[in-house]
Amino acid sequence: MRSGTIRPIALASVAVLAAGVVLAGCGKADTGGGSSSSGGGSGELTLWTHNAGNKEELAVVNQIVADYNAQGKTKIKVQAFPQASYNDAVVAAATAKKLPCILDTDAPTVPSWALAGYLSELNLPQDLVAKQLPSTLGKYQEKLYSIGYYDAALAIFTRKSALQSVGARIPTIAQPWTATEFDEVLAKLKAAGKYQYAFDLGTGDTGTEWWTYAYSPFLQSFGGDLINRADYKSAEGALNGDKAKAWAAWFQGLITKGYAPKKSGADAFADFLNGKSAMVWSGIWSTANLSKLGDDGIFLPPPDFGAGPKIGGGSWQWAISSSCGQKDAALDYLKFSLDSKYLAMFSTKQNVVPATEEAAALTPGWKQGEPKRFFLEESQKFAMIRPPTPGYPYLTTTFAKATQDIVAGGDANQILDRAVKDIDSNYKSNNYYQ
């Protein structure tokens, strides 16, 4: 009897000890990461980046850090995360007050991180900032919190032969299609019947952000928006005014008239290359695959629906955390990294729009008159950043859902009114995110 009770006790204590060791281990690992990230005596700064899954982009980041470390000033240490878990890691680190000194952030999340006090204002020299594309600057309430090496850009990809076969004019940045012209092109392409779809919108992507990034520029070109940008307090009129309703009717019409598929294939661009659609709405990342069509493959600016052609702006950008103990050193690194040489490396290896003219001059294919120049001009003239408000996560999910419902064939006006009501009550409940 006695030995029978002692053994369970021994086992239980072993189990408790083991659990304790595991928990203590977790705690220890945390503090270890924290001490190295806050810098301290060693003078080492930690840098967090989202691009662990993107070898080429990470290679450029590593290259910059290696060059900087070779100067013998402060030492930078790179920690790369997979993109899917990056934001969670930052939020968790911020909660535990263990943010690294330097971190990258997706442009639309900058305001909410700035409001939450994760980020510190960047006091970069004015001449350095002025050179940058406006959409590579992460601002919140007139203060600069993040700065990017590049941007992405959207375009209509098509075959020259498809447009010529229906006698359509090839639009340019200086002279984009008007709404009527675009509608005629769609109708003619549909009537010609060579392609199953005249214009594939890429609706196969169920991720929220694509819906906002890709389709809100059409809304903005009509003259609507996700929220009134005067005070960022209400969507009334912006998302359910006449202009927004005209956008919704047009967008739904693309599907009901059979110009665009209700649900695109998993890879809309591959469908386009295979001749399923005559035009496809995609981004600069597709230029590599477009070369398969040779001279026939071209990219065009979006049509002007009244308020000028629009594309989405803002990609990954760099920021300094507010808890950073060596902000000057971190800022020094950022300045160093914004050298044209490095920006050009990103745009060469990554198919992205270089953030400055100087960098474009150093990148093959981006000089005045060369084909990719188109995207830089688009970014300069048409790019509209997604609303810089801490309520953006709510705006984007609401807009994406509304657009999905419009595509699914719901009553468009009712859907927009509902979305506005949701956004307004959410902003009110959150004290307008102030």
Partner 1 sequence: MSVTTPRQTRTTASVAAARGPSLKKTERREALAGALMVAPSVLLLIVFFFIPVGLAFLLAFTNARLISPSISFTGLDNFTRLFQDPLFWKSLRNTLYFAVVVVPLQSAFALLLALLVNEKIRGTNFFRIMYFVPVVTSIVVVSILWQFMYQPDGLVNNVLQSLSFNVLQGTDWLNNPAAAMPAIIVMSIWQAVGFHMIIWLSGLQTISPDLYEAADLDGASRWEQFRYVTWPGLRNTRTFILVTITIAALSLFAQINIMTKGGPLDATTTVVFQAFRVGYQQQQTAYASAISLVFFVLVLAVSLVQRYLTREKD
- Host H or E run for residue 106: strand 102-106
Report yes or no: 68 and 39 within 8 Å, Cβ to Cβ. Answer: no
Least distance between partner 1 and beta carbon 376 (Å): 33
Residue whose C-alpha is closest to residue 303's, from 388, 202, 185, 147: 185
Q: Which is nearer to partner 1, 213 or 382 (CB)?
A: 213
Least distance between partner 1 and beta carbon 115 (Å): 6
Q: Which is nearer to partner 1, 178 or 397 (CB)?
A: 397
Least distance between partner 1 and beta carbon 320 (Å): 18
The three-point CA angle 77-79-82 to 5° equals 165
Q: Which is nearer to partner 1, 149 or 394 (CB)?
A: 394
Q: Which is nearer to partner 1, 100 or 302 (CB)?
A: 100
Q: Which is nearer to partner 1, 180 or 429 (CB)?
A: 429
Residue 404's CB: how many other CB atoms inside 10 A?
Answer: 17
Looking at residue 178, what DSSP letter applies? B
Least distance between partner 1 and beta carbon 153 (Å): 26
Q: What is the DSSP string of 59-104?
A: HHHHHHHHHHHHTTSSEEEEEE--HHHHHHHHHHHHHTT---SEEE
Cα(245)–Cα(96) distance, integer angstroms: 45
Q: Which residue has the tokens 């595991």?
A: 22
Least distance between partner 1 and beta carbon 260 (Å): 14
Q: Which is nearer to partner 1, 9 or 70 (CB)?
A: 9
Residue whose C-alpha is closest to residue 216's, from 234, 238, 199: 238
Residue whose C-alpha is closest to residue 218's, from 284, 312, 315, 136: 312
Least distance between partner 1 and beta carbon 175 (Å): 38
Q: Which is nearer to partner 1, 61 or 90 (CB)?
A: 90
Q: Which residues bind partner 1 (CB under 8 A)?
A: 1-2, 5, 8-9, 11-13, 15-16, 19, 91, 94, 112-113, 115-118, 206, 208, 262-263, 393-394, 397-398, 404-405, 408-410, 418, 422, 425-426, 429-431
Q: Please state, in angstroms and as integers, the Cα–Cα distance from residue 392 to each residue in 91, 117, 285, 315, following that order.
A: 16, 16, 25, 15
Which residues are within 8 A (CB) of 151 and not within 5 positions of it... i.e. 6 or more apart? 133, 135, 136, 313, 314, 315, 352, 353, 355, 379, 383
Report yes or no: 38 and 97 within 8 Å, Cβ to Cβ. Answer: no
Cα(98)–Cα(96) distance, integer angstroms: 5
- Burial of residue 310, with CB atoms counted within 10 A of its CB: 0-12 exposed, 13-18 middle, 19 or more buried: buried
Least distance between partner 1 and beta carbon 72 (Å): 37
Q: Which is nearer to partner 1, 16 or 24 (CB)?
A: 16
Q: Which is nearer to partner 1, 58 or 91 (CB)?
A: 91
